[in-house]
Chains A and B, each alone.
Chain A
Amino acid sequence: MHIFLRVLHFKLFIPALLLTLFFSQSAFCLQTEKETQFTEGIGHLLHGNFKEKALATKQVADSGDSRAKSILQAMLEGKLYRVKKDDTLVYAEIKSAQAKISSALTGEQLGFVKKRKLKKITINNKLRSSLKASLARIDLASPSSTTRLQAVNKLIKNLTPRDSLLLAELLQKETDNKVRKALATATAIAKLKTDDTTQILAAISDLSGNLNPAVRNELMTLLGKSKDDAVRAKAESALASIASSISFYGFIEKLFFGLSLGSVLVLAAIGLAITFGVIGVINMAHGELIMLGAYTTYVIQQLLPNSIGIALILSIPAAFIVSGVTGIIIERSVIRFLYGRPLETLLATFGISLILQQTVRSIFSPLNRSVATPSWMSGSIQINPILSLTTNRITILIFSMLVFAGLYLLLRKSSIGLQVRAVSQNRAMARAMGVKAARVDALTFGLGSGIAGIAGVALAQLTNVGPNLGQAYIIDSFMVVVFGGVGNLWGTLIGGLTLGVANKFIEPWAGAVLAKILILVFIILFIQKRPQGLFPQKGRAAE
């Protein structure tokens, strides 16, 4: 109420001032008007509905008041509250039932209050995007060129015709090249929204070859509403050139998607390639060893809640040890009694997989656990406006290749690798040469299981960490190993990547469900023709 009175007061006040002090105090008047706008805006923020709030944020933003930015920022982040009792606008940091508040207008610290005494200044999507645009407009004047660039890029999605003047003005002053480029695009897009045909035509030529999605968006809209033939023809040709680049970059994008899916498959399957391929054990609990790795990531992250990135790196060796030791226990306690009896091994390991699942369910509850992603793994690398590669996928792609290389070197260059290969090729002969076959079996199984654990660390970043995580990957893993050729690491690598890429190229026209089915059918047919897989093991063991 008192704000209303104040507004009224100002409204009466200003004409009086204007009359008496017009010449000498005009600067002061302008000041007061801005201030009125600000106070009025704040008043609507406190009590308005979403529509009024939208107007209010505009008023606050346009007022040029130094407090505007932090108020709008807090509103966007949901930290702006109203004290129910006396309508003070405050910033609040909520900690359980208590909130630490400070006045948004004066900056005064107001101490702690109960959360229930506060009411949040809520926003919806419409308001959120207009807030972002308002903040971006304020940020355009920022001294930092990166902030300016971000501001322009945000603004591009939300331009109005009247922005073209403002942007053109900024373009004159701008010195940074990147920002200039973005500003030029933004100016041209803003011009597209005007009614002036010559301006629109000029803007289309400025924008030709520009791959920014906003450009395509605007051109499509223009094509939809414009009646002018010259404009339509020009827009169509501009769109056609954009479309051809899109299809080119689309191909690269698909290839990347395929390789990244493939790298996940390789990661999940490579441990199996060792246990299944080298010592011939059909390990149905392989998926659950992956799951254990994922849970290890979760536990370590719980222990180090403030350094997610370090926790993730630490989880790699930890998961290797947890899954590896579990693998060795499984091998020593169950599998070693079943060598040479594949059917019994299959059933026994299937049982173990159920036991492991239920154990995890009892310890961690059946609900999924959330594993946070470190900031260096979220977001994407922008190659150009239409091609961006997500960082988490790139990281996993590289990680998967590193794991492969490490494992390959281990098997080729180390003495344990030599023993593993010897046992897998000819057990009797290896034993005759003094290799302790039983020990090598346990170690090999442990190695394969440990690698599964490492795969779990990577998968925890992509999918749900829950008791059923492993089941989703066990079939795919077997598919990759069988397709690639049992007992050959190269086969697993090539097989996994091939299946990933094939899947991603089939998916757009067949849909995700059918793509999976087609891949499965293809593998069945392939195995009929070539039962030993892509890269069969050579030598006497392969009979």
Chain B
Amino acid sequence: MKTKILAAMLGCALSIGSVLGGQAMAAETIKVGVLHSLSGTMAISETTLKDTMLMLIEEQNKKGGLLGKQLEAVVIDPASDWPLFAEKARELIEKKHVASVFGCWTSVSRKSVLPVFEELNSLLFYPVQYEGEESSKNVFYTGAAPNQQAIPAVDYLMNDMNVKRWVLAGTDYVYPRTTNKILAAYLKSKGVADADIMINYTPFGHSDWQSIVSDIKKFGTEGKKTAVVSTINGDANVPFYKELGNQGISSDTIPVVAFSVGEEELSGIDTKPLVGHLAAWNYFMSVDSEANDAFIESWQKFIKSDKRVTNDPMEAHYIGFNMWIKAVEKAGTTDSDAVQKAIIGVTVPNLSGGYSAMMPNHHITKPVLIGEIQEDGQFEIVWQTAGKVAGDAWSDYLEGSKDLISDWRSPLSCGNFNVKTGSCSGNK
């Protein structure tokens, strides 16, 4: 009996081997693409996410892999070069035959790979907060949409801190510009006058903040409580906060709420001038939950340093990866179309002690937390939304976008369905 089965298996294996030839090895593992820059300007942020993916894959393999097979990470470095992202994505899908890809940080890199994923019908999990106004059949947005970060933060300032005047300061590129457009429309809908909104853009890596901070100071001493909503990107934040401190603006006179400053960014700078300023995220390392403690412990063990911090995009990858695992198990295959169908409605634990679900518009539900920066570079959570907020692909506050919805379930299956005209304008 035993020998018969053995012989049958051997025969089977031989025949597969002869058909697939060199591909026989590949069939034993499921490949997962990791598309994060490991060199160039974005390496600062993206290297951590690559390590996070490696850790998650290693842990999954310890648990027995997926569908009885081991997972194999295929790491590729697009070197912070936007066109290269598209080339490398094509390489991952066509040459390496990955089942899905986890990657990208900047919006421009996501826009660059989007057509590739749509053309080759593969899956991308995108872990960073972004400006919204996009929905693709092949992309899952596990970071925050504007209504999961920017709008609740503004609500907090408006209701809890009685802020009446607003400075919207950002770096000059697509995410801050779109976010500020949405915020300005939102503030106006709440009755804030044009004169009480100041919008300011600066180039990447701006280091001379003297006159801008002085303008903010003047703007903030005209009789109404003022706050700065900052979409200033990475590096430029340090001289910005330093200048605020030097010119005597502290968090209790003019608070700054930032959307791009997290634990990782704070670990490289002197945090004294920042204490009390705010950040809005869906996760902080200081979240008090068992899932988070376990995650931090395994992360620091994996990276072999108890000084390394965790941050919001890491949690997004944690959620996205577990959602993908669950969807593949549900579908019983890694086939893109089957996983796309299966993943909608999948619910997995997040790190803040609750559950996140994948919505039909390929965004997820998350709690929104507001934290104050502490001297040790961590955040003290001072406010959070009562429940979870579902990500909205199309902002309700922008002309041309407020009538659009996205729903990838059949029969609608459309990324930008206009509820007024009842039609889907492309993007099927």
Q: How far is the CA of A223 from the CA of B47 in the complex (A)?
A: 54
- In the bound complex, do residue B374 and residue A78 qualify as a contact, i.e. CB atoms below 8 Å apart? yes
- In the bound complex, do residue A217 and residue B268 qualify as a contact, i.e. CB atoms below 8 Å apart? no
Q: Out of B200, B207, B222, B374, which one reaches A472, CB within 8 Å?
A: B207
Residues of A with C-beta under 8 A to B224: 220-221
- In the bound complex, do residue A129 and residue B252 qualify as a contact, i.e. CB atoms below 8 Å apart? yes
Q: How far is the CA of A525 from the CA of B43 in the complex (A)?
A: 38
B44 (CB) vs chain A CBs: closest residue: A366
Whether a CB of chain B sits under 8 angstroms from the CB of A24 is no
Q: How far is the CA of A158 from the CA of B92 in the complex (A)?
A: 59
- In the bound complex, do residue A369 and residue B268 qualify as a contact, i.e. CB atoms below 8 Å apart? yes
Q: How far is the CA of A366 from the CA of B41 in the complex (A)?
A: 9
The CB with the most chain A CB atoms within 10 A, among B251, B252, B276, is that of B252
- In the bound complex, do residue B243 and residue A264 qualify as a contact, i.e. CB atoms below 8 Å apart? no
Given known A78-B375, A366-B44, contact A508–B276 (CB-CB < 8 A): no
Whether a CB of chain A sits under 8 angstroms from the CB of B214 is yes
Residues of A with C-beta under 8 A to B214: 253, 257
- In the bound complex, do residue A462 and residue B207 qualify as a contact, i.e. CB atoms below 8 Å apart? yes
- In the bound complex, do residue A378 and residue B276 qualify as a contact, i.e. CB atoms below 8 Å apart? no
Whether a CB of chain B sits under 8 angstroms from the CB of A260 is yes
Residues of A with C-beta under 8 A to B208: 261, 264, 462
A219 (CB) vs chain B CBs: closest residue: B223
A124 (CB) vs chain B CBs: closest residue: B382
- In the bound complex, do residue A512 and residue B161 qualify as a contact, i.e. CB atoms below 8 Å apart? no
- In the bound complex, do residue B239 and residue A378 qualify as a contact, i.e. CB atoms below 8 Å apart? no
Residues of B with C-beta under 8 A to A463: 207, 238-239
Whether a CB of chain B sits under 8 angstroms from the CB of A125 is yes
Q: How far is the CA of A378 from the CA of B245 in the complex (A)?
A: 8
Given known A373-B270, A462-B239, A513-B202, contact A125–B207 (CB-CB < 8 A): no
Whether a CB of chain A sits under 8 angstroms from the CB of B410 is no
- In the bound complex, do residue A261 and residue B210 qualify as a contact, i.e. CB atoms below 8 Å apart? yes
A459 (CB) vs chain B CBs: closest residue: B207
A508 (CB) vs chain B CBs: closest residue: B211
Could you tell me which residues of chain B, from 154 to 182, have a CB within 8 Å of some CB in chain A? Answer: 160-161, 172
Whether a CB of chain B sits under 8 angstroms from the CB of A254 is yes
- In the bound complex, do residue A512 and residue B203 qualify as a contact, i.e. CB atoms below 8 Å apart? yes
- In the bound complex, do residue A468 and residue B276 qualify as a contact, i.e. CB atoms below 8 Å apart? no
Q: Out of B203, B252, B273, B276, which one reaches A516, CB within 8 Å?
A: B203
Residues of A with C-beta under 8 A to B423: none
- In the bound complex, do residue A390 and residue B243 qualify as a contact, i.e. CB atoms below 8 Å apart? yes
Whether a CB of chain B sits under 8 angstroms from the CB of A388 is yes
Residues of A with C-beta under 8 A to B235: 368, 464, 466, 468
A77 (CB) vs chain B CBs: closest residue: B375
Q: How far is the CA of A218 from the CA of B225 in the complex (A)?
A: 11
Could you tell me which residues of chain A, from 341 to 375, have a CB within 8 Å of some CB in chain B? Answer: 366-373
- In the bound complex, do residue B238 and residue A368 qualify as a contact, i.e. CB atoms below 8 Å apart? yes
Whether a CB of chain B sits under 8 angstroms from the CB of A224 is yes
- In the bound complex, do residue B203 and residue A221 qualify as a contact, i.e. CB atoms below 8 Å apart? no
Encode A427-468 as 1/0 by CB contact (under 8 A) with B: 000000000000000000000000000000000001110101
Chain A: interface residue total (CB-CB under 8 A): 58
Residues of B with C-beta under 8 A to A126: 160-161
Encode B339-379 as 1/0 by CB contact (under 8 A) with A: 00000000000000000000000000000000010110000
Could you tell me which residues of chain B, from 380 to 406, have a CB within 8 Å of some CB in chain A? Answer: 380, 382-383
Residues of B with C-beta under 8 A to A253: 214
Could you tell me which residues of chain A, from 201 to 223, have a CB within 8 Å of some CB in chain B? Answer: 213-214, 216-221, 223
- In the bound complex, do residue A468 and residue B253 qualify as a contact, i.e. CB atoms below 8 Å apart? no
Given known A370-B269, A513-B203, contact A464–B238 (CB-CB < 8 A): yes
- In the bound complex, do residue A512 and residue B221 qualify as a contact, i.e. CB atoms below 8 Å apart? no
A220 (CB) vs chain B CBs: closest residue: B223
- In the bound complex, do residue A125 and residue B276 qualify as a contact, i.e. CB atoms below 8 Å apart? yes
Q: How far is the CB of B74 from chain A (nearest CB, A)?
A: 22
Interface residues on B, range: 35 or more
Tell me the interface secondary structure of chain A in the complex.
helix
B381 (CB) vs chain A CBs: closest residue: A122
Residues of A with C-beta under 8 A to B202: 512-513
Whether a CB of chain B sits under 8 angstroms from the CB of A145 is no
Q: How far is the CA of A388 from the CA of B374 in the complex (A)?
A: 27
Q: How far is the CB of A207 from chain B (nearest CB, A)?
A: 14
Q: How far is the CA of A218 from the CA of B223 in the complex (A)?
A: 6
A371 (CB) vs chain B CBs: closest residue: B270
Whether a CB of chain B sits under 8 angstroms from the CB of A174 is no
Whether a CB of chain B sits under 8 angstroms from the CB of A340 is no
Could you tell me which residues of chain B, from 177 to 197, have a CB within 8 Å of some CB in chain A? Answer: none
- In the bound complex, do residue B210 and residue A257 qualify as a contact, i.e. CB atoms below 8 Å apart? yes
Q: How far is the CA of A369 from the CA of B267 in the complex (A)?
A: 9
A504 (CB) vs chain B CBs: closest residue: B211
Q: How far is the CA of A224 from the CA of B248 in the complex (A)?
A: 26
The CB with the most chain B CB atoms within 10 A, among A78, A129, A214, A512, is that of A512
Whether a CB of chain A sits under 8 angstroms from the CB of B146 is no
Q: How far is the CB of A383 from chain B (nearest CB, A)?
A: 13
Q: How far is the CA of A250 from the CA of B374 in the complex (A)?
A: 33
Could you tell me which residues of chain A, from 95 to 139, have a CB within 8 Å of some CB in chain B? Answer: 120, 122, 124-126, 128-129, 132
Whether a CB of chain A sits under 8 angstroms from the CB of B66 is no
Whether a CB of chain A sits under 8 angstroms from the CB of B212 is yes
Q: How far is the CB of B262 from chain A (nearest CB, A)?
A: 13
Q: Out of B43, B215, B252, B380, which one reaches A366, CB within 8 Å?
A: B43
The CB with the most chain B CB atoms within 10 A, among A218, A220, A466, A504, is that of A466
Residues of A with C-beta under 8 A to B372: 124-125
- In the bound complex, do residue A370 and residue B270 qualify as a contact, i.e. CB atoms below 8 Å apart? yes
Residues of A with C-beta under 8 A to B44: 366-368, 466
Whether a CB of chain A sits under 8 angstroms from the CB of B326 is no
- In the bound complex, do residue A390 and residue B210 qualify as a contact, i.e. CB atoms below 8 Å apart? yes
- In the bound complex, do residue A221 and residue B270 qualify as a contact, i.e. CB atoms below 8 Å apart? no
Whether a CB of chain A sits under 8 angstroms from the CB of B247 is yes
- In the bound complex, do residue A512 and residue B210 qualify as a contact, i.e. CB atoms below 8 Å apart? no
Residues of A with C-beta under 8 A to B313: none
Whether a CB of chain A sits under 8 angstroms from the CB of B246 is yes
- In the bound complex, do residue A511 and residue B200 qualify as a contact, i.e. CB atoms below 8 Å apart? yes
- In the bound complex, do residue A512 and residue B206 qualify as a contact, i.e. CB atoms below 8 Å apart? yes
Q: How far is the CA of A50 from the CA of B372 in the complex (A)?
A: 14
Q: How far is the CA of A507 from the CA of B209 in the complex (A)?
A: 11
Q: Out of B206, B252, B270, which one reaches A372, CB within 8 Å?
A: B270
Q: How far is the CA of A379 from the CA of B205 in the complex (A)?
A: 23
A128 (CB) vs chain B CBs: closest residue: B252
Whether a CB of chain A sits under 8 angstroms from the CB of B295 is no
Whether a CB of chain B sits under 8 angstroms from the CB of A241 is no
Q: Out of A128, A129, A218, A391, which one reaches B246, CB within 8 Å?
A: A391
Residues of B with C-beta under 8 A to A369: 268
Q: How far is the CA of A462 from the CA of B236 in the complex (A)?
A: 11
- In the bound complex, do residue B382 and residue A512 qualify as a contact, i.e. CB atoms below 8 Å apart? no
Q: How far is the CB of A401 from chain B (nearest CB, A)?
A: 18
Whether a CB of chain A sits under 8 angstroms from the CB of B82 is no
Residues of B with C-beta under 8 A to A257: 210-211, 214
Residues of B with C-beta under 8 A to A507: 211-212
Could you tell me which residues of chain A, from 369 to 419, have a CB within 8 Å of some CB in chain B? Answer: 369-373, 378-380, 388, 390-393
Whether a CB of chain B sits under 8 angstroms from the CB of A332 is no
Could you tell me which residues of chain B, from 56 to 107, have a CB within 8 Å of some CB in chain A? Answer: none
- In the bound complex, do residue A224 and residue B223 qualify as a contact, i.e. CB atoms below 8 Å apart? yes
Residues of B with C-beta under 8 A to A223: 223
Q: What are 29 of the A-B contact pairs (CB < 8 Å)?
A: A78-B375, A122-B380, A124-B380, A125-B251, A125-B255, A125-B382, A128-B252, A129-B252, A216-B223, A250-B218, A253-B214, A257-B210, A366-B43, A367-B44, A368-B235, A369-B268, A380-B248, A390-B210, A390-B247, A391-B246, A393-B246, A462-B208, A463-B238, A466-B44, A466-B235, A508-B215, A512-B201, A512-B212, A513-B172
> A-contacting residues of B (Cβ < 8 Å)?
41, 43-44, 47, 160-161, 172, 200-203, 205-208, 210-212, 214-215, 217-218, 221-224, 235, 238-239, 242-243, 245-248, 251-253, 255, 267-270, 273, 276, 278, 372, 374-375, 380, 382-383
Closest 4 CB pairs of A and B: A220-B223, A129-B252, A368-B268, A213-B221
User: What 10 new A-B contacts, CB under 8 Å, besides A462-B242, A464-B268?
Assistant: A125-B161, A129-B252, A216-B223, A217-B222, A253-B214, A260-B210, A367-B44, A379-B246, A507-B212, A516-B203
